[in-house]
Amino acid sequence: MKKAVFAAALFALTAVGANAATIEMKVYGLVCGFCAQGIEKTLRKHPATADVVVSLENKLVAVSTKEGADIPDAELTKALTDAGYDVKDITRTERSIAEIRDSLKAK
């Protein structure tokens, strides 16, 4: 019985994380606009991607996912690492890409 309750709780936590609207990543190695364009182009190819924003100044890459879709952290890390960047942190949030863009403009 305890195993069933634990499994159900784990599934619920996983499902909440998987439905996050936006994935924010701290990425090191971004040095120019060409870097930002390359990352954006790479991430937009993923079928679950709805929108992407890249901030060189903040070392931030944010991806919003399509409704009901997800991109596993391992896939994101691999794509960016293979492109020569260092992913330091991945956070799933309910902030929209518009909110992220607005906060970047305010800085």
**Domains in the chain: boundaries:** 2-106
CA distance 31 to 35: 7
| Three-state DSSP class for residue 31 | coil
β-strand partners of 89: 26
Q: Which of 55, 52, 69 lies closest to 26 in space, CA to CA? A: 55
CA–CA separation, 102 and 107 (whole Å): 9
Architecture category of domain 2-106 in CATH: 2-Layer Sandwich (3.30)
Distance between start and end Cα atoms, the chain: 51
- For the chain, 107 residues long, the average pLDDT of each consecutive 10-residue run is 36 41 94 92 95 95 95 95 94 94 89
> What pLDDT is attached to residue 78?
95
**What's residue 21's pLDDT?**
81
- The pTM of the full predicted model, rounded to 2 decimals, is 0.78
